[in-house]
Structures are given as structure tokens and as C-alpha cells.
């Protein structure tokens, strides 16, 4: 044993240096891992995540701001699908720099396409969301493919007004499909379309090769 104040041996010095280097490497690895998971769950809004639905033509701003007395659309704040144990916030989305419908900035959130009808108004309101984050971590619509006709979907606004939709159809389309091909419902009805990715991963496009579309009809409002 060294006496108090005695200099450390070269072997002890090497050991201490190695120990410090190991700690620094472990710290760097943990920081890198932390940023990876943070970005996985909360990608920045500007990040180009799996290519959204293509638009066949420019879409006019929703006219639902100028409501008729019979219209009952709401600005969605949350979405609930009890049969899938889904309860998620709804972001308000537009069109990205590529001219495509934008996607939510978080994999746990959904997004309402604000240039289409409001949920509850005549026409098909569109809500999209992620199936996963590309690393295998679950997105909000991971199990959307299991939904059945007759399932309940609830949309609420910030004032707690709630719309009840019932699923009427579930189908798949190629990821290159245009918006007007996907939303093939009846324009005079109040309907909701929920869209997410499905199928096989297309590496060069960084997206999946199909989209699941869940079409639902307005049942009631309260």
C-alpha cells in the first residue's frame, strides 16, 4: 500500500486514465442513445417522415368557416378509438414543401388536414397518423389494420363537443394514390377518413407501399 502523499505508480496512472476514458465513452453513448429515442418519439416538425398521401391538384381552403345552420363541424383536438385503446391529440396540418399532406410531428399524435372539411361537416374529413417510427417503435395507428366495420370513433374539440362516428369501410390503396382516389365517399354525408401506412417498406422512398383507409360515418353529436 502507498503511504499518504506518495506518488501513484505508472500502473495506477494507466488504470485511472483507462477508467476515465471508459466513463467518457459510456457517457457519450448514453447521450447519443437518448437523442435517438427522443427524436424517434418526437421528430421535429420539419422532418420529412414517410411520404404522405400525394395530392392530384391544389386543394382550396375549407369553406366550413362559413357555416350553414345545418353544419356542425368542429376543430378536432382529440381522437378516441375505444376498440383499439387509442386516445390521441389531434394536430392541425396543412401541406408540406413537396405539395403533399403533412404528417404529425409526433408518433403519438394524429393530424387533421385543415384544407378539407371539418369533422361533422358535409364531406370527408381527413385524419392521418403514423403506424411506427421506422425503428419498430409503435405509432398511434399501429393496430389500425385490425379495426372492424361498426367500430366507434370519437372526435372532440377543446370545448368538449364530441362527434361519434361509426366505421363503414376499411380498405387499402397504393402509397402513390391521389387524395381524390382515396376519399371515395359521398360528399353530402358527414364522414371521417383515417389514414396510416401499411404493407412493405420501400427503402428508396423511405415509406411503406400501401395506405390503410378507415371510412366512418357521423352517428351523433353531443
Q: What is the largest CA-CA distance in the chain?
A: 92
CB 101 within 8 A of CB 182: no
What's the pLDDT band for 117 if we cut at 50, 70, 90? very high
Q: Which domain holds residue 217?
A: 42-221
**Would residue 1 count as lying in a domain?**
no
Q: Is the model's pLDDT at 38 over the cut of 60? A: no
Which has the minimum average pLDDT: 51-65, 87-101, 145-159?
51-65
Which has the minimum average pLDDT: 26-35, 65-74, 212-221?
26-35
CB burial readout 159-168, b (16+ within 10 A) else e: eebebebebb
- The C-alpha atoms of residue 62 and residue 116 are separated, in whole angstroms, by 5
Residue 128's DSSP bridge partners are: 111, 195
Average pLDDT, the chain: 77
**Would residue 37 count as lying in a domain?**
no
**Would residue 163 count as lying in a domain?**
yes
Give me the number of domains the chain comprises. 1
Q: Is the model's pLDDT at 11 over the cut of 50? A: yes
Q: What does the pLDDT look like over 162-180, one tens digit per residue? A: 999 999 999 998 888 877 7
Q: Quick one: pLDDT at residue 47? A: 35
Which has the minimum average pLDDT: 92-106, 119-133, 174-188?
174-188
CB 139 within 8 A of CB 198: no
**Would residue 29 count as lying in a domain?**
no
Q: Quick one: pLDDT at residue 96? A: 83
User: Cα dist. 4→8, 15, 17 in Å?
Assistant: 10, 19, 21
**Would residue 186 count as lying in a domain?**
yes
The end-to-end CA distance of the chain, in Å, is 80
Q: What does the pLDDT look like over 192-207, one tens digit per residue? A: 999 998 888 887 877 7
**Would residue 2 count as lying in a domain?**
no
Q: Quick one: pLDDT at residue 164? A: 97
Q: Is the model's pLDDT at 16 over the cut of 90? A: no
Which has the minimum average pLDDT: 21-30, 78-87, 166-175?
21-30
Residue 137's CATH number: 2.40.260.10
**Would residue 169 count as lying in a domain?**
yes
Amino acid at each position: 500500500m502507498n503511504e499518504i502523499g506518495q506518488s501513484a505508480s505508472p500502473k495506477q496512472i494507466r488504470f485511472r486514465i483507462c477508467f476515465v476514458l471508459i466513463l467518457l465513452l459510456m457517457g457519450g453513448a448514453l447521450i447519443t442513445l437518448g437523442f435517438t429515442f427522443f427524436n424517434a418519439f418526437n421528430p421535429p416538425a420539419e422532418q420529412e417522415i414517410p411520404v404522405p398521401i400525394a395530392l392530384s391538384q391544389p386543394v382550396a381552403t375549407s369553406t366550413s368557416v362559413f357555416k350553414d345552420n345545418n353544419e356542425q363541424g368542429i376543430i378536432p383536438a382529440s381522437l378516441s378509438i375505444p376498440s383499439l385503446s387509442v386516445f390521441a391529440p389531434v394536430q392541425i396540418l396543412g401541406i408540406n414543401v413537396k405539395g403533399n399532406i403533412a404528417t404529425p410531428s409526433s408518433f403519438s399524435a394524429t393530424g387533421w388536414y385543415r384544407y378539407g372539411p371539418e369533422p361533422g361537416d358535409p364531406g370527408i374529413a381527413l385524419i392521418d397518423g403514423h403506424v411506427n417510427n421506422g425503428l419498430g417503435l409503435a405509432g398511434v395507428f399501429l393496430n389500425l389494420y385490425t379495426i372492424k366495420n361498426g367500430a366507434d370513433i370519437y372526435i372532440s374539440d377543446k370545448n368538449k363537443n364530441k362527434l361519434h362516428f361509426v366505421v363503414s369501410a376499411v380498405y387499402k390503396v397504393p402509397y402513390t394514390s391521389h387524395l381524390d382516389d382515396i376519399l371515395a365517399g359521398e360528399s353530402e354525408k358527414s364522414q371521417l377518413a383515417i389514414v396510416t401506412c401499411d404493407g412493405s417498406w420501400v427503402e428508396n422512398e423511405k415509406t411503406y407501399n400501401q395506405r390503410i383507409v378507415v371510412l366512418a360515418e357521423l352517428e351523433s353529436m353531443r
